[in-house]
Each structure stands twice: as C-alpha cells, then as structure tokens.
Chain A
Amino acid sequence: MGYGNRTAGVALALVIAASGVVSGCSSPSGGSKDGKSVELLNVSYDPTRELYKQVNAAFAADWQKKTGQAVTFKMSHGGSGKQSRAVIDGLGADVVTLALAYDVDAIAQRAKLLPATWETRLPDNSAPYTSTIVLLVRKGNPKGIRDWADLVKPGVQVITPNPKTSGGARWNFLAAWGYGKKAGGGSDAAAQAYVTKLFQHVPVLDSGARGATTTFTERGLGDVLIAWENEALLSEKELGKGKFDIVVPSVSVLAEPSVAVVDANAKKHGTEKVAEAYLKFLYTPEGQDIAAKNYYRPRDAGVLAGYAAVFPKVETLTIRDFGGWAAAQKRFFDDGGVFDTIYAGPKR
C-alpha cells in the first residue's frame, strides 16, 4: 500500500517538474536588456498579411532612425474572433489589429488587459484605415446587378460568409440591413424581410471571408460575392485579372478595423513606447499610403485624394448607426438574434 503511494507521488513530482521545465522554456517577447532591440507581437486577422509586412518594414526603418533601436515583429493571423480569444486566453500580444471593435472590446471586458475606453485613445475610433462593403460580380455583370435590390431577384445566387463565425461577414450583414431599412422607408420589419430574402439566395455559408472569396472566385459558385472592398479589389486586380467587376452599392457600411495596444502585455514586455509609436505610425502619411496601396481606405484626406480612382465615393452607415457593436452583436448575431430567425429550422 505504502509502496504504491510513494511511487504515485514520485510520478506526480516528475510530472510537476516536467511542466515546470516546459513553462520555463517559453521565451517572453519584449525588449532586450541593453535596449538595442525590441520585439513586438501583432495579433491580427486574416487578410492583413501583406499590409503589415509592409507596415512593419517601414516602421522598423523609421524607429531605428529615430531611436537607434531595432524592432523585429512577430505576426499572428487568423479569424478575428479566434485571435481575440487567443489573446484573452493568454497569447501575449503587444498590439492587436482586428476586424471589428467588438473583438477588442471582448479583450478589454473579459481579460481586462486594456481599458474599456481603448477606442478613444487613437484618432478615428482607433481605426486608422477603413473599408466598405461592395458587390463583386462576374466579368460583364451577366445578371445585371447594380444594387442590393438585384441580389434577391429570382435565379441570383449570393455568396457571403456566415456572420456567426466571421467578423467580416457581420459587416456584410449590416450593410444589407442598412439597405433594406432605407429601401423600406426606415422600417425594421422591411429590413428584416429584405435580409431574410437575401439569405434565401445564399447556397453556401463559408465560415470565413477568405473561404467565401475562394468559393466565388475559384469554385465558380454564385453570381455575386458580398465582400470587403479591399478583398474585392484584390480579387479583381490580382487573383483573377479581368474575370470580375466591382459594383458599388447605393448604401454600404464603413467597416472600421480596430487597432489597440494591449496595455498589460506591453507593460510586462516593456514595449509600451514602441507599441504605441507603431500604431501611431499607421496614421502618418507613410502609413496611410501603405494602407491605400493594400486597398484599405486611408483616413487621411490628402492621401485618399491620391487614390480617388481606386476608392469611389459611397454613402456609408457606421456601427454607431446600429447602436455600437455590443448592441448590434446582441440584436443580430447572438443566439436567438435576427440572423438565427432567418434559419427557422426544416419545414415540417
């Protein structure tokens, strides 16, 4: 009896020792002792890979010139909500650059790693670049799609990702809702009727925005893709040259991807200064120009003017028109919300 206990104890001690070794091995990111170099972890969402590759290089050069300190970057990309949960669960992001404010709010509320007022700390609601929702159609626009109303015509198939799993898709949904409401003279019932009809034209709900883009561009499914403008421009100009056209609808939303320093992590890593400078760099003419080159609409009017041919004017609603993200999420996308009522179960 005593023998068994003792050996179990030894085994337990071994396991604890082993787990100690494992946790001791994880290298904390952050500043080096001599202050000559510093490392930042930027936790971002999927379609920003190219954007931040260029931003990082430009910022590192700028920072080196100003302070003599070398900055290296670690990037993490994934679905915006997934990335937010990773930070909540302990991924040591110095900054987050996510698809919607709701995902940053979650980090502030659930893990208290940054103050709830984070959105007011940088200009333009802490969203240095924006995008909008447009309609990508096949070359020559064979189905004659000019606006949201054409998406619910008989025989039109619409591709959009699932708003329950994709942050980007929530903007799509809100854009459609905004149109339905305006077309229906401001009535919520009309808006709901419109989006319900719209989703009856959706044959596939991809779980993420990139998946939906692939379904439309590579699999040849659907007549129109509801997409972020930057993704649509990328598809039109780079993925399928001459295979697609972009239709700018009469009403859309201003998609504002948010950026924020994750205070608690930056403090722990000693990277507060450089992390803040990094995000502020996004607002400089140079940072804004890089955003515009990657098809994100710059906030800076001067830089935007230079890209007038790329970004046509469009009437946009903002998330404030929907009462902010917390209210919009609860009303439209949480369980039992408007989106769930669209799929009311099999016909019995």
Chain B
Amino acid sequence: MGKAAAASRWRGASVIPGFGLTFGITLVWLGLIVLIPLTTIFLRAAGLGWDGFVAVGLSPRAMAAYRLSFGAAAAAAAINAVFGLLIAWILARYEFPGKKLVDAVVDLPFALPTAVAGIALVSLYANNGWIGSLLVPLGIKVAYTSLGVVIALVFIGLPFIVRTVQPVLADLGGDVEEAAATLGATRWQTFSRVIFPAIAPALLTGFALAFARGVGEYGSVIFISGNMPYRTEIAPLLIATQLEQFDYPGATAIACVMLVASFSMLLLVNVLQAWRAKRGTR
C-alpha cells in the first residue's frame, strides 16, 4: 500500500480538489485569527509564575465570579433550549400572519450592541420599571441580582438555539410525523422517539453556542448585575478590573481559567454530539 493511498483515506474524497491549498489556508487562518491571539494570553499569564497565577486566577473572589458566569450561562442556555425549541417549532411548522416579522425579531439580540440590551433590560426590570414594579410586590427582584444576569444571558443567547434547530425541523418535514402516526405512535412517542433524536444534535450545538456566548458576555450584564463582589460579579468584569489597575498578567490569568473551562466544555459537547451521531446511524 502506497503512501498516497493512505493519505487519501484520511483526506477523504471531495468534489473540490486542492486539499493542500485549502488545508494550508485553513491552518494559517485559524492560527492567525484564533491560536496566536489565544497563545499570547497563556504566554502573558505564564509571566506570573504558578503561585502568582493561583493567587489571582483561583482567588476566592475569582472562583465566585466563575461560578456565577458559568452557572448563569448554563441556566440561561437551558431556558433557551426549551423556549428556543418552541419558537423554532412555531416558525418551522406553522404559517401565520407576520411570520416574517417574528422570524426577523429572533435575530435582534445578535444585531443589537449588548450595552443597549443591558440598558433596555435594566430599565424594564428595575424596581421602578414596567416589569420590575410588578414583580417587586411578589418579592421577586431581578435587576441587580443573579436572576438579572440570567435574564440578560437568556436575551443574548436566544438566537443560537432557534437558528440551529429551525432548519433541521424544516428539513424533517411533516411526512415523518405522518409516517409515525400511521405506524400507531402516540404524539408523545412521535416527539420523543422520532423528532427529538433528529433535532438533538442541533439543539446541543445551539445550547453550546448560547452557553459559550453567555460565559463571555460583558456589555449587557454589567448594567443589570449590580457588580457586587462575591455575589453578582461576573468573571469578565473581574478581568476588566485587573486591566483597570494595569495588571495585564492578572487579567490574563483569569482569562486563561475561563478559556480552559470554556474549551473543555465545548469539547465535551462536541464529544457528546459525535457519540449521539454514531448511535443514531447504527
């Protein structure tokens, strides 16, 4: 067996020739845009030494901030998974007047500067805001609490779920459901055995994207969170406070922890997805 044959096996077949060229561009591009900038973060943090890194990057205050950032992002992504799926379902399965408008509205959180979102949300949910003033008598405080952080992240994460799930649902078509029904499946069985497995990978991708976006979100959150140390302080704000004292290594130490945590979780989601896909084809 020749070297070429072995190589072509892992390269796989493609209608567009030129693996060498495209692969080269891909590597250079990823290197310039993603890897080199991220590597400098690690290099800068390395200047701190291990003890210095732990003192800043793993301080109790930083840990509290990671807990909030990752916890709120996960909660928001989970909420979005449910309601985003619902919205995607409505958009993929029904025709109704103003559908185009609703479809466009879904993308607004993408287009809006996040600070605008933060200001809008806090004016709604503050104790004297439209929604806030209704919730206060019930003893629910949103603005300046971790609940406020979750709401801001729900807002900015919504499009990810809808936009990943909607095309899959549209592709799936009503005929699959009809086929299931003719075979005697109940509605719940149709959903849980036929539809859900088909959209699960897309839903998981959307969840991962919304989660990753939430972890890194800064602009909208700092307006609604109240920024109280140990309670409502998000990790990106902690990075900003380090920079404010011109402590670049300190800032990069926190950034490193976030980067490693985010990357591990995204990797985990990818592995889960690969595992699902493999099980699905069997």
Contacts and interface: CB of A to CB of B under 8 A. Distances in A.
Interface of A: 3-4, 6-12, 15, 79, 81-82, 85, 106, 110, 162, 164-165, 203-207, 211, 214, 218-221, 329, 333-335, 340, 343, 345-346
B126 A220 contact: yes
B247 interface: yes
Nearest to B28: A11
Given A11-B28, A110-B246, A219 B126 contact: yes
A4 B24 CA distance: 7
A8 B231 contact: no
Interface in B83-128: 119, 122-123, 126-128
B20 interface: yes
Nearest to A167: B244
A191 B222 CA distance: 29
B245 A334 contact: yes
A85 B246 contact: yes
A85 B245 CA distance: 10
Contacts of B263: none
Nearest to A110: B246
Interface of B is mostly: helix
Interface of B: 18, 20-21, 23-25, 27-29, 32, 56, 60-61, 64, 119, 122-123, 126-129, 143-144, 222-223, 226-231, 237, 240-247, 250
Given A7-B24, A8-B20, A164-B241, A211 B126 contact: no
A215 B230 CA distance: 21
Most buried by A among B60, B229, B247: B229
Contacts of A334: 245, 247
Contact of A81 (B25, B60, B243): B243
A335 B128 contact: no
B219 to A, nearest CB: 10
Contact of A205 (B64, B127, B226, B242): B226
Contact of A345 (B27, B60, B144): B60
A343 B126 CA distance: 24
A211 B223 contact: yes
Nearest to B237: A207
Contact of B32 (A7, A15, A85, A335): A15
A81 B244 contact: yes
Contacts of B60: 345
Contact of B127 (A7, A9, A220): A220
A343 B229 contact: yes
Contacts of A207: 222, 227, 237, 240
Contacts of A15: 28-29, 32
17 contacts: A4-B20, A4-B24, A11-B25, A15-B28, A79-B244, A164-B241, A165-B227, A204-B228, A205-B229, A206-B227, A218-B123, A219-B122, A219-B128, A335-B242, A335-B245, A340-B229, A345-B64
B222 A7 contact: no
Given A164-B241, A219-B126, A340-B61, 13 more contacts: A8-B23, A8-B27, A110-B246, A205-B229, A206-B222, A206-B227, A207-B222, A207-B237, A211-B222, A219-B129, A335-B56, A345-B61, A345-B64
B27 to A, nearest CB: 7
A161 B23 CA distance: 50
B123 A219 contact: yes
A245 B129 CA distance: 23
Contacts of B243: 81-82, 85
Contacts of A343: 61, 228-230
Most buried by A among B23, B24, B240: B24
Contacts of B56: 335
A279 B197 CA distance: 68
A162 B241 CA distance: 9
Give the top 10 A-B pairs by smallest Cβ distance, nearest first: A8-B24, A343-B229, A4-B20, A164-B241, A7-B21, A204-B226, A219-B126, A220-B128, A205-B227, A81-B244
Contact of A346 (B27, B126, B231): B231
A11 B32 contact: no
Nearest to B129: A219
A321 to B, nearest CB: 21
A1 to B, nearest CB: 9
A124 B273 CA distance: 65
A2 to B, nearest CB: 10
Contacts of B29: 15
Contact of A335 (B223, B227, B247): B247
A214 B127 CA distance: 14
A203 B144 contact: yes
A54 to B, nearest CB: 27
Nearest to A219: B126
A165 B240 contact: yes
B29 to A, nearest CB: 8
Contact of A164 (B18, B25, B226, B245): B245
A211 B224 CA distance: 11
Contacts of B241: 162, 164-165
Contact of A8 (B28, B245, B247, B250): B28
Given A81-B243, A220-B126, A165 B28 contact: no
Nearest to A4: B20
Most buried by A among B25, B144, B227, B246: B246
B99 to A, nearest CB: 36
